[in-house]
Amino acid sequence: MNFNFEMILFYATVISGLIALFDILFLARRRQLAQKDAAEIKLPIIVDYARSFFPVLLIVFLLRSFLFEPFRIPSGSLEPTLLTGDFILVNKYDYGIRLPVVHTKIYTSGAPKRGDIMVFRWPPNPSYDFIKRVIGLPGDKISYINKELYVNGQKIPQEYLKESLAVNETGSEWQAQEKQEDLLGVKHRIYIDTAKSSQDFHDIIVPKGMYFVMGDNRDDSADSRYWGFVPDKNIVGKAVLVWLSWDGAKKNLRFNRMGKLIH
């Protein structure tokens, strides 16, 4: 969804801070003189709220801008790794420090690694946040043939585990093969829908400053196969932890997923 909580929080922080500052610099002294005989000096309600909420808003804004930001998984494109209704924490500093709102990188502390699950602003419409697994790094050659992945000419092994039920955000279910994929040392599970045809491509070269991403639910994921590469400037951060999980179909919490590390 394109609800821009970051901008709302930014404006709320700035406005409350300006009101509190204006009160401290210009209004507080006048109020004290005008109410010097009063037992208790009463603040105007808007000033009272501004001075009360500004420190809280500022702390939240700084934490979510530079350390960790919460996200909710809206779809099943990363099943079975992440489920619809998972609430996750995203590390905002592993891939470099970026200014909030304008998203300009001011400090490079690292870069996405192959196999990371990454949150980014969707290149066709950056007002939407997407989450996928990093498959190709800058300079990599990627192929996808008959539902099997090739990176730099090396076939990525897939080990069949079992038959599973994949579930999308509407609650629809279908039979899928659950496999373990070894992405050059990063082992993770994927879903393959054998009833759907393979969206094959050959020898795509990932450009400099770009990343190729895919969902673990390979046949139910809108990813780089369809809309292209993710530029570095669109990166939000690395998904690291499931802190809450809500099963919308069953209307209950998935307690077994809380605190689960993401890899």
Q: Which pair of tokens denotes residue 208?
A: 């400099």
Distance separating alpha carbons of residues 144 and 150, to the nearest angstrom: 6
pTM of the model: 0.89
The reported pLDDT for the residue numbered 2 is 58
β-bridge pairing 158-167 and 173-183 = antiparallel
Per-residue pLDDT 10s for the chain (263 aa) are 456 889 999 999 999 999 999 999 988 877 777 666 555 667 889 999 999 999 999 999 999 999 999 999 988 999 999 999 999 999 999 999 999 999 999 988 899 999 999 999 999 999 999 999 999 999 999 999 999 999 999 999 999 999 998 877 677 788 899 999 999 999 999 999 988 988 899 999 999 999 999 999 999 999 999 999 999 999 999 999 999 999 887 889 999 999 999 99
DSSP E strands, 80-138: 86-91, 97-98, 105-107, 117-121, 129-136
> Which residues, listed in sequence order, are joined to residue 142 by a DSSP beta bridge?
151, 204
β-bridge pairing 260-261 and 141-145 = unpaired
Per-residue DSSP letter, 217: B
Active-site positions? 77, 132
The reported pLDDT for the residue numbered 36 is 64
C-alpha distances (whole Å) from 133 to each of 15, 38, 62 are 38, 63, 26
**Residue 85 φ then ψ, to 5°:** 100, -5
The reported pLDDT for the residue numbered 30 is 79
The reported pLDDT for the residue numbered 27 is 85
In words, the CATH class of domain 69-261 is mainly beta
Residue among 213, 253, 58 nearest 129 (CA): 213
Q: Which pair of tokens denotes residue 51?
A: 């001075």
